[in-house]
Amino acid sequence: MDTAQKEALRTKLKALIEQYIDDVRGMEEMTQPIKPENSLGRISRMDAINTKGVLESSLRNKRNKLNKLRLALQQIDEPSFGICENCDKPIQEGRLMFLPESTRCIRCAGR
């Protein structure tokens, strides 16, 4: 990976990190506990609890992806960045631009 490609990837990583930080903040607000003093009917409360569970799962996934993006940004200048952890071959540039947190090439990820 040459310097221009790394800079383009670094820019993309920073933008994605900012986006995910905003997403996580918004989702944290939406997953606050449902207060019992709020007058909700039984069905509405059950629906709110179900929605909260789905949002919490999505929040965990977003936090996980955010951590992977931050790690990729930290490691972008290391010689091992962009090398598949399984087969030690370069990860395709298109894959890294689409999934910058990738640690495996397309072939190894498909196994």
* pLDDT per position as a tens digit, 17-64: 999 999 999 988 888 776 666 556 667 777 777 888 899 999 999 999
Classify residue 72: in a domain, yes or no.
Answer: yes
Range of the structural domain that residue 34 is part of: 3-79
Residue 4 host element (H or E) = helix 3-30
Q: Is residue 74 part of a domain?
A: yes
Helix (H, G, I), strand (E, B) or coil at 104: coil
Q: What is the rounded end-to-end Cα distance, in angstroms, of the chain?
A: 24
**Listed range (2-16, 23-37, 84-98) with the worst mean pLDDT:** 23-37
Q: Is residue 22 part of a domain?
A: yes
Domain-embedded: residue 32: yes
Structure tokens at 73: 């940004």
Q: Has residue 52 been placed in a domain? A: yes
- Please indicate, yes or no, if residue 75 is contained in any of the structural domains: yes
Backbone angles phi, psi at 91, to 5 degrees: -80, 135
Q: Is the pTM of this model over 0.85?
A: no
How many domains, in total, are found in the chain?
1
Q: Measure the CA–CA gap between 85 and 106, rounded to whole angstroms.
A: 12
Rama region for 42: left / alpha / beta (φ>0; ψ in -120 to 50; rest): alpha
| Structure confidence at residue 53 (pLDDT) | 85
- Structural domain includes residue 53: yes
Residue 21 located in a structural domain = yes
The single-letter code of the amino acid at 84 is: C
